[in-house]
Structure 1
Amino acid sequence: MLQIRTNNADNPYQNARQDDLVQILDGLNSESRRLEAEIEDLQKTRETLRSGADRQRVARSETRKRIGDLGILAGTEKAQGPGVRITVKDPNGKLTPELMLEGVEELRDAGAEAIEINDHYRVVASTWFGGGAGNVTVDGQPVTTPVVIEAIGDSDSLASGASFRGGFADQVTGNAQGRISIDRESSVIIDSLHTQKKNQYAHPASSPTAKR
């Protein structure tokens, strides 16, 4: 027996405006170029390591670079680069934690490498939003308005990700009845740091010893 099912799910882009589709395409092209450049750099590094010419120096340099990159992702290192500055005004007190989380997720999906809120809160993997409408908290700390979100990455991709029809910007001006501005910046400085908590239970394991 052969059963054929028809998927009637709506295409999320079928009702999008032409300008929105162009923005999405531009963002994808920018991200593609960035990834291609990253692949090229990694291939050059691989060839240098394989050739044996100054292998140790290259390995140390790559290790330092990776440590710096991981520090930025973990929020333990400062960061600087092109990006966007998003200012959200909430005169009616309708900005919710869910909407803030959606805005951050849209920036991450658009390729944001570092995010900061109100020059004070560094957004990392463990960051959480709480509170209620008009009383949003980040990691348990109150967020004052206007809320300023700074993100480092390709400015066009980030701006497109935040202003896509039905996305964060539309919900701020629609459901939350607020105001939002999205500014592309050639240089965004993120200097707030995430304080890592000490492990309560886990600790580095000692090297195993051979059993006799």
Structure 2
Amino acid sequence: MRQMSNQDGTPENRLRKELPQEVTAEASGPAADASPQSPQLSGRQRLVNGLWPPRVTRAQLIVAVLLFGLGFGLAVQVASNSDSDSALRGARQEDLVRILDELDDRTQRLEDEKQGLEKQRDELENSSDQAEEARKQTVEKEKQLGILAGTVAAQGPGITMTIDDTKGAVEADMLLDTIQELRAAGAEAIQVNGVRVVAGTYLTDSDKSVSVDGNKINAPYRFKVIGKPQDLEPALNIPGGVVQTLEKEQATVTVERSDKIVVDALRAAKRPDYARSSSQ
């Protein structure tokens, strides 16, 4: 039986040259699709894939909130310190020296008071007649408390401060700031236009004037203050202090030192309605 041949005379089995191609196509079919090779990623691409989209855990969120709160608190603290220091940044050298001297004087007054109390304690402990010594100290303490309470007159060195307010711009809070500044500087007795200033004194605005403990007073406001003049006057004249504040309101302020200031306005002794000594 003769073999079949193509027109060119080549046997049919010799036409199977494409068989390897068919086998290759079959091999690269389903089996190759089952395990495709992944494309190679660069280091930058792997970093981007790891960071985005972000994966935030609860712990990370809590830490972020705490850090934000801490940063906000520090910013507020820095801002407040900057505001409090702004008044001193523009101060002259002599003003800064005066402020430091005033702080030193306040520290010295507290130290003297401490030493005085320790001396009284030692005298009571070492005195042969402790009852008599205690009576003397009680009388002396009564005089001191009477001055502070305004029930007795007082005299001593100090200053006279006059505030002339022709514009009617001075209000009760400005006079209260003046009293507070004088107390901080060591004032022991204060009198304003014939009204004694004590621990419970209050000031209110009253029809373009000021009332002190319900007593209406008018400008010029005259302060009679007993204390160390070298401490009282500089305290009023510090940068941004009482005098500068009043002068901004177009008020005229004069301060005079004196070796003898008499504070003779008195307050009636008032028994507290509710407070009682804890020793009773």
Partner of 1:99: 174
SS in 2 for 1:165: coil
Distance 2:255 2:276 in 1: 44
**Partner residue of 1:41?**
116
Check if 1:137 corresponds to 2:211: yes
For residues 77-128 of structure 1, the C-alpha deviation after alignment (integer angstroms, 9 at most, x for no partner) is: 211111111011011111111111111111111111111012x100112211
Higher RCO (CA < 8 A, seq sep 6+):
1
TM-score (norm 2): 0.65
Q: Which range is displaced more, 22-31 or 33-42? A: 33-42
How far apart are the structure 1 equivalents of 2:210 and 2:95?
29
The structure richer in strand per residue is 1
* Pair 1:82-2:157 in alignment: yes
How far apart, in 1, do the equivalents of 2:200 and 2:125 lie?
38
1:202 CA drift (Å) = 4.0
**Which stretch shifts more, 92-101 or 50-59?**
50-59
Residue 40 of structure 1: how far off its partner (Å): 2.7
The percent identity for this pair of structures is 34
Counterpart residue type for residue 215 of structure 2: Q
Q: Deviations over 1:47-89 (max 9, x none)?
A: 2221242322221111111111111111112111111110110
Amino acid at match of 2:212: V
Residues 94 and 133, structure 1, Cα contact 8 Å, conserved in 2: no
Question: Secondary structure at 2:89's aligned position in 1?
Answer: coil
Question: Which residue does the alignment assign to 1:177?
Answer: 250
What is the match of residue 121 of structure 1? 195
Tell me if structure 2 keeps the 8 A contact 1:81–1:187: yes
Alignment size in residue pairs: 204
User: 5+ residue gaps in structure 2?
Assistant: 1-62
CA distance in 1, matches of 2:168, 2:126: 61
Match of 1:26, SS state, is helix
Label 1:100 to 1:135 Cα distance change in 2 as closer, same or farther (>3 A). same
Q: 2:223 aligns with which of 124, 137, 149?
A: 149
Higher fraction of helix:
2
Deviation at 1:21, TM superposition (A): 1.6
- 1:193 correspondence with 2:266: yes
Change in CA separation of 1:185 and 1:133 when aligned onto 2, cut-off 3 Å: farther
Q: Say if 2:203 and 2:210, in contact at 8 Å, map to a contact too.
A: yes
CA distance in structure 1 between the aligned counterparts of 2:117 and 2:275, rounded to whole angstroms: 33
Conservation of the 8 A alpha-carbon contact between 2:123 and 2:133: yes
Runs (5+) with no aligned partner, structure 1 = none
State how far apart, in whole Å, the 2-side matches of 1:135 and 1:56 are: 51
Flag the 1:28–1:130 CA change in 2: closer, same or farther, 3 A. Answer: same
Query: Distance in 2 between the 1:169 and 1:22 partners?
Result: 18
Distance change in 2, residues 1:134/1:161 (3 Å):
farther
Contact 2:127-2:133 within 8 A present in 1 as well: no
| 1:16 aligned partner, one-letter code | A
1:168-207 Cα shifts (integer Å, max 9, x gaps): 1111111x201001112211110101124465x54979xx
Matched, 1:16 2:97: no
